Amino acid sequence: MQQRDYLVRAMLGENQARLFALRTTGVVQEAQCSHDTSPVATAALGRTLTMGLVMGAMLKGEETITLQIKGDGPLQGIVVSANSQGVVKGYVGNPYVDLPLSSLGKLDVGTAVGHGNLHVIRDLGLKEAYQGTVPLQTGEIGEDFAYYFTHSEQTPSAVILGVLVGVDGVPMGSGGIVIQLLPDAIHDDEFISRLESSLGELPAISSLFAGEQSPEKIVESAFGQLGVRFIDSQEVRFHCDCSWERFEQALVTLGSKELAELVATNEVVETVCHFCNERYHFTTEQLEELLVKLANPRE
């Protein structure tokens, strides 16, 4: 029986660091099934989905966050969107990229991603969204977000992400742990040394979350000696909020001229959602109705 996906929040030491730990195996399985991703694309997307859920958990209310990894590698970029309710969606530019294993015998996410930039866009409900951008460090995702937190948000962080993909291409385990030092710990050399030691002894994160241990057990086992206080937990899931009505509105924004050209082809128009690969079809008659609405907006 597969363990459920959820995120836990905790404090370490005497409130010296905050920790997020989450299993995302089901989330990544859903994404892999939606996009038919190759193993290396699954690993890259899975790590970014996991990170999206962590950063979503840092938000409040109706705020949302979008993560864009724009690299020059064959993966052709990653886009992930998440909210504060534990819901995430995402896609990669080239889901079928196939690369040999790295020199360490692992999926070569860094080469797939390539060189470029990481963009973090927070929609806080204001007129303009907040955006932070840093150069990619390795393309391995975890190190790139650790660099972002440290240099863009001045929050020293450890980010450990992993996706274990089976020989059949299906994710067997996925999850992550993110630890951020709080102001009181920045100059506490003893605490930092003990934390670094615990991180160095951590087994492969993807294997941990492929097992039966809960996120709480994993955290207790790895960081219990530092003192762990769990705060809360939250279910997480892959879900896209696209709909036929949304794509209808998108077609309306094309304007009368382009809609008329689509009607003239006398063919069914197919639209595809990037985030979940769902397809929506519009007949000539439905397009003609949209043209009428555009011509008579008050009717």
pLDDT single digits (tens) 50-106? 999 999 999 988 899 999 999 999 999 999 999 999 999 999 999 999 999 898 889
**pLDDT exceeds 60 at position 299:** no
The predicted pLDDT at position 293 comes to 81
pLDDT digits (tens, 9 = 90+) for 140-158: 999 999 999 999 999 999 9
Asked whether this chain's domains 6-238 and 244-295 adopt the same fold, the reply is: no
Mean pLDDT confidence for 267-278: 90
**pLDDT exceeds 60 at position 135:** yes
Around Cβ 44, how many Cβ atoms within 10 Å?
A: 31
**pLDDT exceeds 80 at position 124:** no
Task: Band the pLDDT of 297: cuts 50, 70, 90.
Answer: low
> CATH assignment of 244-295?
3.90.1280.10
**pLDDT exceeds 80 at position 295:** no
The predicted pLDDT at position 253 comes to 86
| Euclidean distance between CA atoms 164 and 141, whole angstroms | 15
| Euclidean distance between CA atoms 177 and 97, whole angstroms | 27
The CATH-assigned architecture of domain 6-238 is 3-Layer(bab) Sandwich (3.55)
Domain ranges of the chain: 6-238, 244-295
